[in-house]
Amino acid sequence: MSEELKGQVAVVTGAARGIGEAISKQLASMGATIILVARDKAQLDKVRQQIEAAGGTAHTFSLDLLEEPDIAQLGKTIQSQHGRCDILVNNAGIGLIGKPLVEMTPSDWDTLMGTNLRGPYLMIRALAPLMIAAKSGHIINISSLAGKNPLPNGAAYSASKWGLNGLTYSVAEELRPHNIRVSVIAPGSVNTSFGSSKQDNPRKIQPDDVARVVAMLVTQAPQSFVSEVLLRPTQKP
């Protein structure tokens, strides 16, 4: 355990597994108090127990990013119980990849956009006011290289990540006067069970690789910030 982030509160969405779990454990190991956010309460509890066993501090908050009132309540709970939010990592996302756009139902489109794009907006809306009041904070959005390139049979997912990139760059300009840094990490294919992927390729980017980038972003020198990181595997999978 280090104390680089001691006293800070970090909120991570999609924290039950994969990239979100790795980010949560990384920030906890640096001394931050972690608010673990996801739908799967049982899995969140497992991650919390692992963080606590390693000497860290974590709390769980089970919610669905499609439910705006629940996100608003999360913001109120963090304000009342912790009085601050220093780090927000918008990591949760869904893929629905594998068929052309014309075969995608409007319901699936709405669910994907609601999770991948509306969810980060609602999280920022709920928690950025705490950062503005403190004149300090980091917001990190986990995007994808699919937000930089065309993705046949994944057009909606790609569109959501292009949108998340645009949201990031624009909100960064809105919040810079408040000394809040907003960054985006766009990894290639990560070795998780996301979508139809299988965790069987050591040449892929690992969740811990993304977590280390987050650690770098939240410990930057105060006079500058990295606005975007494109993360690729050394060797193509």
Closest CA to 36 of 88, 93, 81, 95: 88
Cα–Cα distance, 163 to 122 (Å, whole number): 14
The answer to whether residue 3 sits within a structural domain is no
Q: Distance of alpha carbon 104 from its chain centroid, rounded?
A: 25
The answer to whether residue 237 sits within a structural domain is no
Query: What's the CATH number where 91 sits?
Result: 3.40.50.720
The answer to whether residue 18 sits within a structural domain is yes
Cα–Cα distance, 194 to 46 (Å, whole number): 19
The pLDDT value recorded for residue 234 is 87
The answer to whether residue 141 sits within a structural domain is yes
Which entry of 8, 78, 97, 157 is annotated as an active-site residue?
A: 157
DSSP annotation of 203: T
At 193, the pLDDT band (50, 70, 90 cuts) reads low
The answer to whether residue 58 sits within a structural domain is yes
Q: Given a cut of 50, is residue 105 above it in pLDDT?
A: yes
Domain of 16? 9-231
- List strands edge to edge, sheet with 33-38: 57-62, 33-38, 9-13, 87-90, 137-142, 180-187, 228-231
The pLDDT value recorded for residue 203 is 78
The answer to whether residue 86 sits within a structural domain is yes
The length of the chain is 237
Residue owning tokens 């979508």: 195
At 198, the pLDDT band (50, 70, 90 cuts) reads low
Predicted TM-score (pTM) of the model is: 0.94
Closest CA to 20 of 72, 118, 81, 93: 93
Q: Given a cut of 50, is residue 227 above it in pLDDT?
A: yes
Task: State yes or no: is 169 an active-site residue.
Answer: no
Q: Given a cut of 50, is residue 196 above it in pLDDT?
A: no
Average pLDDT of the residues in 197-225: 87
DSSP string, 140-165: EEE--GGGTS--TT-HHHHHHHHHHH
The answer to whether residue 145 sits within a structural domain is yes
The count of domains in the chain is: 1
The answer to whether residue 2 sits within a structural domain is no
